[in-house]
Chains A and B, each alone.
Chain A
Amino acid sequence: MPVTLKPLESYRDDFSFANSPAAIARFPFPFPDDHYLYSVNIEPATAGAPGSVFEHCFDIDEHYRSETAERARVLARDPQRFVVMPHMHEACWDALEMLMTHLAADYPEHFRLTRKGNQWTWENFALDICQRFTFGDADTLPYEPLEYIGRQVQGDFALLDQRDGDLYMDAGIVTGPADWSLAFDAGMSFKQWHAPVPMAHQMGVFDRALKYLLNIPVERPMRRLNWTMTINPRLDTSSETFHEWGHERGLVTADNVGRLVHLRVELQHMARLPRSNALLFGIRTYLISLDELATNPAWACRLHRVLRGLPDAIADYKGLTRYRQTVVDWLSRFDPEAEAAA
């Protein structure tokens, strides 16, 4: 079923972003259980149910126009959200090829790719783009290849160089990170950029995850869900702009919690880039306000229990501490057993 793209909405200022009932119905609710703890929750990224966010490797949804416009705005203000080290150029072309071929195959109503040897034509009907270029020749594109395609797809991308039995964040386009910074993490190894995560190191989660990622073969992509919470539907919660959004955690009250607080879910996609052997790490972010989420009472009940029992260290790391109790109190109305457990 073709995806209908909504007109422009905003992820800042007046925050006009909202989910349609259809977008709510396909939201990737990340909790299979009443208790949340870190795990290596990686699974093969096989084609999911039609219409679900798992149907295609790179999900395009109703927010496409808004998200690409937001990315352009962030890049104009801060070009450092795009990084590519000299040894990563081949990986960037790999990523461009992977994204263009998937998008054109999965969304023919929005994208078309025509290849004649190295002469490629890329058409993006949603953004009214028609670009002829020579594959492998960056001078024939208006941007570096990763930035070029990154500006036309939803979600952030990091390209990880594989060497020394480790992964290094040596390229990326990241305009909507959940409280981290590509410019800060650039060049770091897998465990270095995960250093701030509490508890998981001791559990051995990163040792296992790294071993797993190193062995991903071509055409066997993997995926996992991660989550946090964000005040307002703000996509750009980068470390660089903390001064713009960090204080909003103090604005949450019992009256505005349903509108202000959003569950933020990352659908992470890990794929081997065939020619460069780099790993593509896609982070596709979905935002849903608690008001929207509570239209599904089972989700609200589950989220109540997860947040109530979340270890303090994880809540702290995710930046929830200031408003967690307010959210738990508000969600308790959806939990039939809340009284008994309280």
Chain B
Amino acid sequence: MNGLLDVRVAAVRQLTPLVREFTLEAEHGALPGFSAGSHVVVHMPAPGRTLRNAYSLLGDPAEAQRYRIAVRLQEDSRGGSRFMHEQVNEGDRLQLSPPANLFGLHSEARHHLLIAGGIGITPFLAQIAELERRGASFALHYACRGGLTDAYRGELAGRLGARFAAYDASAGERLDLAALLRSQPLATHVYVCGPQRLIDGVRSVAASLGWPQGRVHWEAFAAAAPGEPFVAELAASGRRLEVPADLSLLEALEQADVAVPSLCRGGVCGQCATRYSSGAVEHRDSFLAEAERAWQLMPCVSRGCAGSTLVLDL
């Protein structure tokens, strides 16, 4: 049992030349419920390896029998979005991690200001459904590119009326973040999802206007495992393991039948901390102190730097 959800693609819709929407149903039983702002990691069976990408669930959380995700084709795709666009069709089977929410609505907000850039619209589709059900005060601002990254724009305009504004960059329309944030009532929480420069823009404008950090939320997917390939060498036996990009060091060790105790598998508990004697390490855990990182790493999340050889005391 790997704890993944088996789903079948029930419907595919091409929303724009760049954005494709997928409706997913449980292969057996029911899908678990989810909260607005949740994402799943889609495991894609590419030839020879498994690709993993995180996507926001954009359906109404009250109707969790089906999940919907929308995928923007990335120009510099490492394979995931291209696979979803070119290989996945109705009736195909995929696997998902269960939903997790790193972008939830704040229970103390009196007004919710939602700012989307392009495909960053997806978590807000679930959130507006939730906010409408609660009768909460909110507004959605959508920066997009007409005909390319403006999925759901017409539908949202009709549904939300004055609570919705779109800014089409290809028509020269511009979202003035400073004016928008300056005009918000007290106890507003702002949520932003989109390109990094939009997130940075909202954060810096909010900071310059004196917004407390706790009222500024942005979608930051916990980079789920993948990295660059590297080689791990086991000092005791001299064995060399090739660790591919989409496998964690811990998984690679387990595949090679090297026993490493583990508990949380998320870089937190410290159980799998392993000594190393040489090699450049990309530390991703939240457990080890800086000094400890000179000779220890946590293989559940951390890995050797690209192309390097990491010598482990195993």
List the interface of chain A (C-beta within 8 A of B): 40, 42-43, 87, 94, 161-164, 170, 208, 211-212, 215-220, 272, 274-277
Q: Would you list 14 pairs from A and B whose C-beta atoms are within 8 A, ordered by A residue?
A: A40-B268, A40-B270, A163-B106, A164-B214, A208-B269, A208-B287, A212-B268, A215-B266, A218-B33, A218-B100, A220-B98, A274-B99, A275-B33, A275-B61
Q: Is B238 an interface residue (CB 8 A)?
A: no
Majority secondary structure, A binding face = loop
Contact of B286 among A87, A211, A218, A276 (CB under 8 A): A211
Do the beta carbons of A215 and B34 come within 8 Å of each other?
no
Q: CA–CA, A40 to B33, complex, Å?
A: 28
Do the beta carbons of B268 and A274 come within 8 Å of each other?
no
With A208-B287, A217-B100, A274-B35 in contact, do A42 and B264 touch (Cβ < 8 Å)?
Answer: yes
Do the beta carbons of A212 and B32 come within 8 Å of each other?
no
| Smallest beta-carbon distance B177→chain A, Å | 23
| Residues of chain A within 8 A of B62, CB atoms compared | 275
Do the beta carbons of B287 and A277 come within 8 Å of each other?
no
B213-231: CB near A (< 8 Å → 1, else 0) gives 0100000001000000000
Q: CA–CA, A153 to B100, complex, Å?
A: 27
| Residues of chain B within 8 A of A216, CB atoms compared | 100
| Residues of chain B within 8 A of A272, CB atoms compared | 100
Q: CA–CA, A275 to B286, complex, Å?
A: 28
Q: CA–CA, A275 to B214, complex, Å?
A: 22
Which 3 residue pairs are nearest across A and B when measured between Cβ atoms?
A274-B33, A277-B35, A217-B100
10 more A-B contacts (CB under 8 A) besides A40-B270, A276-B35? A87-B107, A162-B101, A208-B287, A211-B268, A212-B266, A218-B38, A272-B100, A274-B99, A275-B35, A275-B61
Most central of A43, A211, A275 by chain B CB within 10 Å:
A275
| Smallest beta-carbon distance B250→chain A, Å | 15
Do the beta carbons of B64 and A215 come within 8 Å of each other?
no
Contact of B34 among A87, A161, A218 (CB under 8 A): A218
| Residues of chain A within 8 A of B270, CB atoms compared | 40, 208
| Residues of chain A within 8 A of B214, CB atoms compared | 164
Do the beta carbons of B34 and A275 come within 8 Å of each other?
yes
Q: CA–CA, A226 to B286, complex, Å?
A: 24
Q: Is B108 an interface residue (CB 8 A)?
A: yes
Residue of B nearest to A164 (CB): B214
Do the beta carbons of A163 and B108 come within 8 Å of each other?
yes
Majority secondary structure, B binding face = loop
List the interface of chain B (C-beta within 8 A of A): 3, 32-35, 37-38, 61-62, 64, 97-101, 104, 106-108, 214, 222, 263-264, 266, 268-270, 286-287
| Smallest beta-carbon distance A288→chain B, Å | 27
Do the beta carbons of A161 and B100 come within 8 Å of each other?
no
| Residues of chain A within 8 A of B99, CB atoms compared | 217-218, 274
| Residues of chain A within 8 A of B38, CB atoms compared | 218, 277
Q: CA–CA, A19 to B200, complex, Å?
A: 60
| Residues of chain A within 8 A of B106, CB atoms compared | 163-164
Do the beta carbons of B32 and A218 come within 8 Å of each other?
yes
| Residues of chain B within 8 A of A164, CB atoms compared | 106, 214
| Smallest beta-carbon distance B125→chain A, Å | 16
| Residues of chain A within 8 A of B98, CB atoms compared | 217-220
With A164-B214, A220-B3 in contact, do A40 and B35 touch (Cβ < 8 Å)?
Answer: no
Do the beta carbons of A163 and B33 come within 8 Å of each other?
no
Q: CA–CA, A94 to B61, complex, Å?
A: 12
Residue of B nearest to A136 (CB): B62
Contact of B104 among A43, A163, A211, A220 (CB under 8 A): A163
| Residues of chain A within 8 A of B32, CB atoms compared | 218-219, 274
Most central of B61, B62, B64, B101 by chain A CB within 10 Å:
B101
| Residues of chain B within 8 A of A220, CB atoms compared | 3, 98
Q: CA–CA, A73 to B37, complex, Å?
A: 41
| Residues of chain B within 8 A of A217, CB atoms compared | 97-100
Q: CA–CA, A193 to B209, complex, Å?
A: 33
| Smallest beta-carbon distance B77→chain A, Å | 25
Do the beta carbons of B3 and A277 come within 8 Å of each other?
no
Do the beta carbons of A42 and B108 come within 8 Å of each other?
no
Q: CA–CA, A314 to B154, complex, Å?
A: 62
Do the beta carbons of B107 and A161 come within 8 Å of each other?
yes
Do the beta carbons of B269 and A212 come within 8 Å of each other?
yes
Do the beta carbons of A42 and B101 come within 8 Å of each other?
no
| Residues of chain A within 8 A of B61, CB atoms compared | 275
| Residues of chain B within 8 A of A161, CB atoms compared | 107
Q: CA–CA, A161 to B104, complex, Å?
A: 11
Q: CA–CA, A274 to B62, complex, Å?
A: 10
Do the beta carbons of A212 and B264 come within 8 Å of each other?
yes
Residue of A nearest to B133 (CB): A90
Q: CA–CA, A215 to B101, complex, Å?
A: 8
Do the beta carbons of B104 and A42 come within 8 Å of each other?
no
Q: CA–CA, A217 to B35, complex, Å?
A: 11
With A87-B107, A162-B104, A217-B98 in contact, do A274 and B269 touch (Cβ < 8 Å)?
Answer: no
Do the beta carbons of B35 and A215 come within 8 Å of each other?
no
